[in-house]
Amino acid sequence: MPDARNPLARLLLPVLRWNAEQGFEGYRDTIEQGLQLGMGGFILFGGEAAAVRALTDELHRRAPHPLLIGSDLERGAGQQFRGATPLPPAAALASLADLDATRRAGELTAREARALGVNWVYAPVCDVDLEPRNPIIGTRAFGTEPAAVAAQVTAWVEGCHAGGALACGKHFPGHGRTVGDSHAERPVVGASRAELEADLTPFRAAIAAGADAMMTAHVAFPALDDSGMPATLSPRMLGPLLREELGFAGLVVTDAMIMEGLTAGGSEADASVRAVAAGCDVLLYPQDALGVIAALEAALQDGRLGEARVQQALGRIAAAAARVAGAGHGDYAREDDRRWALATALRALRVIRGEPRLPLGAVRLVEIEDDAGGPYPPYPRDAFPAALRRAGVELRDDGSPLVVLYCDIRAWKGRPGISPAAQARVRELTDAHPEISVLLFSHPRLECELPTVRHLLGAWGGEALMQEAGVAWLTGQSGGLPSAAAGLDR
């Protein structure tokens, strides 16, 4: 086969998404095209850990140069890869005010990622949770106070480096004030330059800690660039602000190119040219790789894109990939890591109201699902009932009710709160059973939307780890962990 490599292809990282029926083979054409063209790497979503390791071994072995293999691992390698260790959401970690725990979370995430052949972690989230109506950040952020978030970000980056992976702060210059979701629209943040200093504080901390990359926000900030361009396309935000004022010298990567916040009113190809010209080094998640490469070539020829800018980006990509070159090494899913993750999740649970407790005798588990209906299924909900059964709890349709409400941040919802239908179902249950206990698998601040619940436990998110932690708290059984009540305000 003739050499089809194109230097510009190294600016692109297409997606490989696991499918339960085909594994990664549904993306075989993307894999072959990427390797033949010499793309800079790939971003992975989902998969069995062993299959991920097999895929990345192949990619690293066959690639013409060291690859960047990235993944969204804000909640540990187990967030994406079944069999690796999951971690609590960032807000849950930060609620412990334990920087050592956050540092260990970053180290564990990176160590397991490298064991699976993933060398670029798209974390930590540096956004400050400044807007409760934000439909996309929520528990992904370390909190509401810029200085405290900065300390958490620093600890996480330090841990990630100790684990051997590249760390990526996101979403520059901050997605925490938006009331729109950049997956579906281009949000505009009207805060003043002085107000935005709060948003920038964690990014400054990430840079000081040596973060290897920054991911841009598809969000417009008129106080930073009055042209109306989102940060991804803004030479002012990526040049004078990020490179010069903040002193960042690493990789700048776009948020996903498929998002409407970037391509609204234009094409992916045009946005790609403008993003590179503005200062982005890596184009993440392009849908039409050949079209993007052709657009970059045309822009070089007609002067819209300078050769020096392209070479600068290619140099940064090569340098970053060289620092983490090689296939997977090390182990994952160690028992001590799993136990630590569950103990940490248990520590993060919070009594919001009253005295939540497990009903006496047989239990009727009432699940209220507020996360279904989008393009991707919610986390499986089998961990909670399975953990109850392991703890010896009898589940019966005629038992005493226990309510679990799942309401995670989901991009497609366009809202941060609990749906009217879910709220109505909770009211119905509390009217019939005033002393019923409810576990809220979402941000504890949503308790204001559940005024009729007398006994409420906050569990931050609906992933399996938090489900298991909820059962451990209720039953006092934690597989050898300290008592579920230890260190908690019950």
Enzyme catalytic residues: 183, 255
DSSP state of 282: B
Chain centre to alpha carbon of residue 234: 24
End-to-end CA distance of the chain: 67
Angstrom distance (rounded) from CA 117 to CA 9: 21
Residue found by looking up tokens 């540096």 in the block:
126
Nearest-CA neighbor of 12 among 73, 72, 57, 70?
Answer: 70
What distance in Å separates the CA atoms of residue 111 and residue 336, rounded to the nearest whole number? Answer: 14
Please list the helix, strand and coil fractions of the chain in percent, rounded to the nearest 5, in that order.
Answer: 45, 15, 45
The tokens describing 388, both together, are 């109850």
CA–CA distance, 229 with 237 (Å, rounded to integer):
10
| Coil, helix or strand at residue 32 | helix
Strand runs (DSSP E) across 209-264, as ranges? 213-216, 251-253
Determine contact, residues 182/231, Cβ cutoff 8 Å: no
Backbone angles phi, psi at 365, to 5 degrees: -80, 120
Residue 179 CB neighbour total at 10 angstroms: 16
* Sign of CA pseudo-dihedral 72, 73, 77, 81: negative
**Which token pair is 460?**
């931050």
Q: Where are the beta strands (DSSP E) in 134-261?
A: 166-172, 213-216, 251-253
398-436 burial: b if 16+ Cβ within 10 Å, else e = ebbebbbbbbbbbeebeebbbbeebbebbeebbeeeeeb
Residue 71: CB partners within 8 Å, gap ≥ 6? 43, 44, 45, 77, 80, 81, 113, 118, 120, 121, 122
CB 475 within 8 A of CB 357: no
Q: How far apart are CA 209 and CA 203, in angstroms?
A: 10
How far is 468 from 267, CA to CA, in rounded Å?
44
Question: β-strands 455-458, 350-353: how paired?
Answer: antiparallel
What is the phi/psi pair of residue 13, to 5°?
Answer: -125, 95
C-alpha span between 193 and 232 (Å, rounded): 18
